[in-house]
C-alpha cells in the first residue's frame, strides 16, 4: 500500500475542509504513514469469498406513522448557531466570485 | 456500612446499591448524597480534573425533587435520588456539551440524549459532565481540549480513555455512578486502569440517540461504577428499545440485576469459560497477566470449566478498527462546518470569505491533533481508488472476527482476557506515538467490531507498580446477563481474598480527611 506524502496530506486536508499549517503537515504526514503501514498488515487476510460486514446487526429502515409530533422550535434549533437572521441560519457566501 | 455513619462523612463511599438502600430505609436523603458528591468534587477535582462542567444547582434541585417524591410515597425507581455523572459526549438539555472539543465550546443542546432522559425520568440527579478525549478519540484522556484527567491512584498517570473522566470520577469517590461510551474500549480500558467496573452493552442494546457519534457501527453507551451490581442496576435503567435510534434492538433487556445477585452467591458450576489464546500472552505486562491468571483460578474454584479458545483473526482487530473507525469518524465530523452550531472562525487576510474558507479555518482552530489525524486518515481511506483496498478490506476482516466469536461461543459460554495490556502509563508518555497509544485497545476492540457485550472489573494490583489491572469478560450478543453473573461471582471471590473492595486500597487524595 502506498506511503502518504506531505503533498497528499495537504490535498486530503483540503478535501476534509481543514486548513493545516506547515508545521502540522510536517508532523502529520509521517504519523499517517506509520498508521497506514500497520494497517497494510490486513490487506491479504480475507479472501474474495468473505462478505464485508458494515454493521454488527442487520440494519433496516425504521418507519413510524406519519403523524405530527412535537419537535424543536426554530428558536431551539437556532440556539447554538454562530449567527442567525429572521429565524434562519446566517452563513457566509456559498458561491465564488466568478459565479 | 453501618446505618449510623450513612449520614456522616462516608456518604461518598457508598456504592449506588448501598445509597439506594439507605434512601429506601430513610437513613439519608438525595440532597445529602448529592451535597456530599459536590463537596467531594470541590475537595479533589482540582487534582483529578474528572469534570468539565458541574451543575450543583440543577443537581440539588433534582435531589430535592427526589426527596419530595419519596416523602409523598410515590412509586420510585430503585436508583431514584442516587447522583450520577455523564460523559460529555451525551447531549444534556440546558447543560453544556463539548465532547472535549474547542469546536463545541459553550454549546448547550436543546434536547436530551435518550439515556439522559431515562436518568431524569428515574430521578437520578445529574451532577455534571465528565472529561474525555476529544470526540472520544484516544486511550488516555490527554486529547481533551480542556486538559487531561489524572488517575486517582497516581496523579502523574493517565486514567485511560476516552472515558477517563467518568472512570476517574467514580474511582475518586466523586460520584457512585457515571455513563461512558465505548467505541474501541473507552469504558472498559479506563475501568481497568482506575480499578472500576465498566460495561459495553450489546450493540443496539442501549440507545445512541443524542450521543455525538464518533463511529456509528461501533459506539455504545454503558455504565461506569464501583461494583458489578451497580452496573447491572444502571444498565437495566438505560437499556431497552428506543424508536429514535434505528439501530436499537426491539427486545426486552435480560434481568441483569437478578443475574448479578445470582452470581454474587458464587456458584458457577455448569459454566464454560474460554481463555482467548491471542489475548493473554505476548505484549502483556507480567503483573497484569499474573492477576488475570489468579482470577481464572478463582472461576475454576467457583465451579466453572475453563478451556483455552483460539480466535485467530483477533490479531488483525486493531488494524481493522483503525481503518473502519476513522472512515466513520471523518463522515460524522463533517457536520462540524461552522454553520449551524459550534465555533465559527473567520480566516485572516481574506475579504468576504466563502463558507468553505470559514469552514476550513474553523475546523483547523476547533479540532485537536488526534481528531485531525483521524479525519484525514478516514478521508484518505474513503477516497476514490482506495476505498476497496482499505475500507472494503477492513469490512471483510470484520466478518472474520465476528466468525471467530461465533465459533468460540459454540464451545464456551463466555470468553475472558485481561482488559488492557498494561496498567496506567505516565501522562505524556505515548502522546507522540499513535501506534503505541492505540495498542492499549488491543483486547477491547474485537467486541466492538462484532457488537458483542463486555465487562471489565478490577482483578487486583500489578506487582511491578501497585496499579490496578482489569479482567474482561465477553458474552454473545444479547447475553449481557452472563457478564453480570460471572462478573459478580469473580468480584465476590476477589473481595473475599482482599478483605475489602480494591478501591479502598487507593491512596488518599488532597482534601481528604
B400-436 residue pLDDT tens? 999 999 999 999 999 999 999 999 999 999 998 989 9
Residue B512's pLDDT is 54
Three-state DSSP at B473 gives strand
Contact A93/B330, CB-based, under 8 Å?
A: no
Give the pLDDT band of residue B1 (cuts 50, 70, 90).
Answer: very low
Which of A35-44, B60-69, B166-175, B264-273 bottoms out in mean pLDDT, i.e. has the lowest?
A: A35-44
Whether A70 and chain B come into contact, CB under 8 Å, resolves to: no
Quick one: average pLDDT of A89-97? 86
Does position B507 have pLDDT exceeding 90, yes or no? yes
| CB-CB neighbors (< 8 A) of B375 in chain A | 16, 18
C-alpha cell at B39: 463537596
% of chain A residues with pLDDT over 90: 71
% of chain B residues with pLDDT over 90: 94
d(CA B29, CA B63): 8
Residue A97's pLDDT is 63
Q: Could you read off the pLDDT of B294-338 as tens digits, one per residue?
A: 999 999 999 999 999 999 999 999 999 999 999 999 999 999 999
Q: Which residue in chain B is spatially nearest to A18 when comparing CA positions? A: B360
Contact B110/A96, CB-based, under 8 Å?
A: no
Give this complex's ipTM: 0.94
Give the pLDDT band of residue B4 (cuts 50, 70, 90).
Answer: very low
8 A C-beta contact, residue B461 and residue B505: yes
Residue B112's pLDDT is 98
**DSSP string over B150-172:** -BTTBTTB---SSSHHHHHHHHT
d(CA B294, CA B299): 9
Nearest C-alpha of chain B: how many angstroms from A30?
11
Give the pLDDT band of residue B7 (cuts 50, 70, 90).
Answer: very low
Of A17, A46, A79, the CB nearest to B396: A46
| CB-CB neighbors (< 8 A) of A16 in chain B | 330, 363, 375-376, 379
CB atoms within 10 A of CB A55: 15
Give the pLDDT band of residue A98 (cuts 50, 70, 90).
Answer: low
Whether A86 and chain B come into contact, CB under 8 Å, resolves to: no
Task: State yes or no: cis peptide before B162, omega within 30 of 0.
Answer: yes
Q: What is the mean pLDDT of chain B?
A: 95
Distance, C-alpha A26 to centroid of its chain: 22
Does position B513 have pLDDT exceeding 60, yes or no? no
Q: Could you read off the pLDDT of B83-123 as tens digits, one per residue?
A: 999 999 999 999 999 999 999 999 999 999 999 999 999 99
Contact A79/B367, CB-based, under 8 Å?
A: no
Q: Is B417 a catalytic residue?
A: no
Among residues B127, B122, B134, the alpha carbon closest in space to that of B98 is found at B134
8 A C-beta contact, residue B304 and residue B272: yes
Q: Residues for chain A: how many in total? A: 99
Does position B233 have pLDDT exceeding 50, yes or no? yes
Residue B42's pLDDT is 97
Contact B364/A18, CB-based, under 8 Å?
A: yes
B474 phi, psi to nearest 5 deg: -120, 145
Residue B108's pLDDT is 97
Buried b (16+ CB within 10 A) or exposed e, B61-73: ebbbbbbebbeee
Under the phi-then-psi rule, with left for phi > 0, alpha for psi from -120 to 50, and beta for the rest, what region is B254? beta
d(CA B27, CA B6): 7
Quick one: average pLDDT of B438-449? 96
Nearest C-alpha of chain B: how many angstroms from A44?
8
Quick one: average pLDDT of B350-376? 95
Residue B3's pLDDT is 39
Alpha helix ranges (H) inside B83-227: 114-122, 164-171, 188-194
CB atoms within 10 A of CB B293: 14
Does position B510 have pLDDT exceeding 80, yes or no? no
Residue B384's pLDDT is 87
**DSSP string over A17-80:** T----HHHHHHHHHHHHHHHHHHGGGTTTS-TTSPP-S-SS----------------HHHHTTT
Amino acid at each position: 500500500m502506498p506511503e502518504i506524502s506531505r503533498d497528499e496530506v495537504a490535498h486530503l486536508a483540503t478535501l476534509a475542509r481543514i486548513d493545516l499549517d506547515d508545521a502540522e503537515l510536517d508532523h502529520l504526514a509521517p504519523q499517517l504513514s506509520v498508521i497506514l503501514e500497520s494497517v497494510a498488515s490486513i490487506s491479504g487476510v480475507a479472501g474474495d469469498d468473505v462478505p464485508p460486514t458494515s454493521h454488527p446487526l442487520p440494519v433496516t429502515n425504521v418507519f413510524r406513522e406519519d403523524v405530527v409530533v412535537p419537535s424543536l422550535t426554530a428558536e431551539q434549533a437556532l440556539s447554538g448557531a454562530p449567527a442567525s437572521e429572521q429565524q434562519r441560519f446566517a452563513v457566509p457566501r456559498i458561491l465564488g466570485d466568478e459565479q | 456500612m453501618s446505618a449510623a455513619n450513612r449520614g456522616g462523612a462516608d456518604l461518598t463511599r457508598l456504592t449506588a446499591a448501598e445509597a439506594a438502600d439507605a434512601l429506601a430505609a430513610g437513613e439519608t436523603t438525595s440532597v445529602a448524597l448529592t451535597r456530599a458528591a459536590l463537596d467531594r468534587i470541590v475537595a479533589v477535582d482540582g487534582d483529578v480534573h474528572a469534570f468539565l462542567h458541574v451543575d450543583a444547582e440543577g443537581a440539588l434541585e433534582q435531589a430535592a425533587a427526589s426527596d419530595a417524591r419519596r416523602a409523598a410515597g410515590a412509586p420510585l425507581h430503585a436508583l431514584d435520588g442516587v447522583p450520577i455523572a455523564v460523559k460529555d459526549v451525551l447531549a444534556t438539555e440546558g447543560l453544556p456539551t463539548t465532547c472535549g472539543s474547542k469546536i463545541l465550546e459553550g454549546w448547550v443542546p436543546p434536547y436530551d440524549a435518550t439515556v439522559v432522559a431515562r436518568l431524569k425520568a428515574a430521578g437520578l440527579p445529574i451532577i455534571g459532565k465528565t472529561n474525555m478525549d476529544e470526540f472520544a478519540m484516544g486511550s488516555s484522556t490527554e486529547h481533551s481540549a480542556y486538559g487531561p484527567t489524572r488517575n486517582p491512584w497516581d496523579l502523574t498517570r493517565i486514567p485511560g480513555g476516552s472515558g477517563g473522566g467518568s472512570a476517574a470520577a467514580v474511582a475518586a469517590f466523586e460520584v457512585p455512578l457515571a455513563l461512558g461510551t465505548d467505541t474501541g474500549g473507552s469504558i472498559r480500558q479506563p475501568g481497568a486502569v482506575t480499578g472500576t467496573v465498566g460495561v459495553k452493552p450489546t450493540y443496539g442494546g442501549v440507545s445512541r440517540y443524542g450521543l455525538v457519534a464518533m463511529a456509528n457501527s461501533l459506539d455504545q453507551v454503558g455504565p461506569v461504577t464501583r461494583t458489578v451490581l451497580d452496573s447491572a442496576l444502571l444498565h437495566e435503567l438505560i437499556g431497552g428499545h428506543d424508536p429514535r435510534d434505528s439501530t436499537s434492538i426491539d427486545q426486552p433487556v435480560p434481568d441483569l440485576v437478578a443475574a448479578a445477585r445470582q452470581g454474587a452467591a458464587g456458584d458457577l458450576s455448569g459454566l464454560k469459560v474460554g481463555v482467548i489464546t491471542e489475548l493473554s500472552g505476548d505484549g502483556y505486562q507480567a503483573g497484569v497477566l499474573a492477576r488475570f491468571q489468579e482470577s481464572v483460578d478463582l472461576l475454576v474454584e467457583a465451579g466453572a470449566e475453563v478451556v483455552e479458545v483460539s480466535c485467530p483473526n483477533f490479531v488483525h482487530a486493531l488494524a481493522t478498527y483503525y481503518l473502519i473507525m476513522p472512515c466513520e469518524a471523518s463522515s460524522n465530523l463533517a457536520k462540524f462546518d461552522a454553520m449551524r452550531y459550534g465555533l465559527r472562525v473567520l480566516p485572516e487576510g481574506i475579504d468576504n470569505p466563502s463558507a468553505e474558507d470559514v469552514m476550513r479555518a474553523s475546523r483547523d482552530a476547533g479540532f485537536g491533533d488526534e481528531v485531525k489525524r483521524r479525519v484525514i486518515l478516514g478521508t484518505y481511506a474513503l477516497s476514490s481508488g482506495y476505498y476497496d483496498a482499505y475500507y472494503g478490506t477492513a469490512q471483510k476482516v470484520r466478518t472474520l472476527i465476528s466468525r471467530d466469536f461465533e465459533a468460540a461461543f459454540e464451545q464456551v459460554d463466555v470468553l475472558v482476557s485481561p482488559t488492557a495490556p498494561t496498567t496506567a502509563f505516565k501522562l505524556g508518555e505515548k502522546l507522540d506515538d499513535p501506534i503505541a497509544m492505540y495498542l492499549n485497545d488491543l483486547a477491547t476492540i474485537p467486541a466492538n467490531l462484532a457488537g458483542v457485550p463486555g465487562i471489565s472489573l478490577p482483578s487486583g494490583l500489578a506487582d511491578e507498580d501497585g496499579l490496578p489491572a482489569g479482567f474482561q469478560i465477553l458474552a454473545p450478543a444479547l447475553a449481557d446477563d452472563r457478564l453480570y453473573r460471572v462478573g459478580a461471582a469473580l468480584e465476590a471471590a476477589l473481595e473475599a481474598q482482599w478483605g475489602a473492595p480494591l478501591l479502598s486500597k487507593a491512596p488518599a487524595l488532597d482534601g481528604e480527611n
